[in-house]
Every structure is written in structure tokens, then in C-alpha cells.
Amino acid sequence: MALAGVGAGLAWRTSRHQSQTLSEAENAFWQQQFARLDGVMLATSVFRGKPVVLNFWATWCPPCVEELPLINNFFLQNKAKGWQVLALAVDQAAPVSRFLAQSPLSFPVALAGFPGIEVSRSLGNLNGALPFTVVFDSSGHVLQRKMGKLTADDIRAWERLPV
């Protein structure tokens, strides 16, 4: 019984340490700013207090482009419930502008450029691959991560999250 108590204590301490480490990454994210296509800086802190879907994508990434309409539909159906979406393009301004002219999105898009890969890694994208999506609760903590193209099942799962 004593060994079980020690084991439980170590497990709690380990999970608490991991939580603190993640909290540092979350805090760092909420202090960042990214340029919108119009050149105005967009502070991630404006999204705090609401559940947020953060999507890392690029115009040269076919699965990224394919999932954007699904994310846009999610946003349109759930913005009245407080959900926010932010797409960070790991790309350059010109191709993103051309893409959005042909396929407008209803949520904010900002430019992260190549440094966006490091931002995504800090939030759990260990491979630095795209697309990568993070769901935050209203207090700014990561609830879910998804490497690869989103599915309708992923979207439905977000709607059931305790945000």
C-alpha cells in the first residue's frame, strides 16, 4: 500500500511538472503577435477568454488547403457560441493574398512565415509538419492537438469539448 502511495505521488508530481512546462509554452504563445496581410499586427492575446482553434497551414500544402473550408464552416456555425479561429500561414504574404482572394475565409489569417514552424513545435508539433491544429479552452490552455488533415469527426469532437 505504501508503494502504491509513492507511485501515485510520483505520477501526480510528473503530470504537474509536465503541466507547468506546457503552461510556459501556452503563456509564450499568448504573448506573441503576427502580421495580418494588411500589415497590422494581430496580438494572440485578443483571443484569450474564448475557446480558440489555431491552425498552422500554407498555400503549398494540399491537405492544409483542403481542410480550410471545414474550419471555416466550423467557425461560421460556432462563432455565436464564442468560438474563435486563427489561421497562421507558414508562408509568404503574396501567395496567401492570392489564395484568400480566390477562397476567402471568415476568420483572421496572419503570417507566421517559417518561424511559425517553431511556434507550432512549442505547442506540441514535434515533427514541424503541416497542417497542425491546436484547440485552446477559454482560459488559454491546450485541450487538443491534431497533426495532419482535419476530418468532420475532429470538428464534431471540438463541439463537445468543455471549453
Cell of 83: 468560438
pLDDT tens by residue, 15-53: 333 343 347 889 999 999 999 999 999 999 999 899 999
Reported pTM: 0.85
pLDDT tens by residue, 99-150: 999 999 999 999 999 999 999 999 999 999 999 999 999 999 999 999 999 9
Q: Which helix (H) or strand (E) holds 81?
A: none
Query: Could you please report the per-residue DSSP string of 49-79?
Result: TS-EEEEEE-TT-HHHHHHHHHHHHHHHHHG
How far apart CA 24 and CA 22 sit, in angstroms, is 5
Please name the residues in contact with 65: beta carbons below 8 A apart, sequence gap of 6 or more: 57, 59, 99, 103
